[in-house]
Amino acid sequence: MDVRIGVIYTGKELEVELPDDSDRDAIAKQIDAAVSGDNPVLWLTDRRGKTVGVPSERIAYVELGRAASDRKVGFGA
């Protein structure tokens, strides 16, 4: 699953590829807790085991994408 995070005061986004077996609802709850102020830092671990932390007060928006296995590749109609 891809997660894109917009950061306040910068034009760049952070993109984190989470493992395909990540629980979408659990990730959404974790993001909600960070944005609501319950957690000062949003911590996510990508598919290679690298941990990324974003200060909650700097999060502008978050996009949750589909799992890589849900993506279609090819020229089919």
Whether 34 contacts 56, CB under 8 Å: yes
Locate the domains of the chain by residue range.
Answer: 2-69
> What is the reported pTM?
0.77
Q: Which residue has the higher pLDDT, 20 or 3?
A: 3
pLDDT tens for each residue of 49-69 = 999 999 999 999 999 987 655
What's the pLDDT at 11? Answer: 86
Rounded distance between C-alpha atoms, residue 56 and residue 68, angstroms: 26
Rounded distance between C-alpha atoms, residue 39 and residue 55, angstroms: 9
3 state DSSP class of 31: helix
Pick the CATH number of 2-69 from 3.30.200, 3.40.50, 2.30.30, 1.10.260: 2.30.30
